[in-house]
Amino acid sequence: MKNHIAQTPEEAEALFGEAKKYLILCHLDSGAPWNMYSTRVDEAWHQFVLFTRQYTEFCHRYFGKFLHHNPSDDPTVAEAPQENQTTFSEFETRYEEVFGEPLPEIWFDSYSVALSTRVMNDNAGKFDVSVHEGNVSLTGPDGQTEVLVDEIACDALTFISHTGSFHVRELPGELTDEEKVGLVATLVDHGYLRVAP
């Protein structure tokens, strides 16, 4: 809560609980390199790791060894053979098998987007925005259209395409607060933006 990852104690507890469930899956399936699919759950894990004594005791007590944390942008993950890489769908299925319940919404970062949410654009400056027949498109460096939205979002999408980090409330243009949240949540859901820790 101090770092604004969670807004309430209940949300913080839920994130911490999911971080521990993720560790359980990593331990059970040590041969499957489970990706971390939620920035927010990952940040809860980061916070746990910072309490090194408690984290080390937890790992040794429940897993018999220390579970290392590798950043999601670790180059060894990208270099892993394709057959060893896992998908979100596989993770979701395995989660449900092990814990007997559906994957909670807290794993879907787009569900947590609000006006106060800070998001990151790791590809700022790499997309072009154009208007055609009442629609705005976001086109990547390869020339393929990535996002197509109503022209009312032109100012917001232009701002997003050039800005590395911002709060949802900062989006310019004529969008309502609900439309700002919806636009950013959609971009987070499709991987163009990520919720900042």
pLDDT tens per residue, range 171-194: 999 899 999 999 999 888 888 888
121-143 pLDDT, tens digit each: 888 888 888 888 888 888 877 77
Cβ within 8 Å of residue 55, ≥6 positions away: 48, 49
Confirm whether pTM is higher than 0.75. Answer: no
pLDDT at 24: 94
Domains of the chain and CATH, by start:
9-107 (no CATH), 118-195 (3.90.930.60)
Map residue 10 onto helix, strand or coil. Answer: helix
* Percentages of the chain per state (helix, strand, coil), in multiples of 5: 50, 10, 40
Quickly tell me which residue has 């499957």 as its tokens. 32
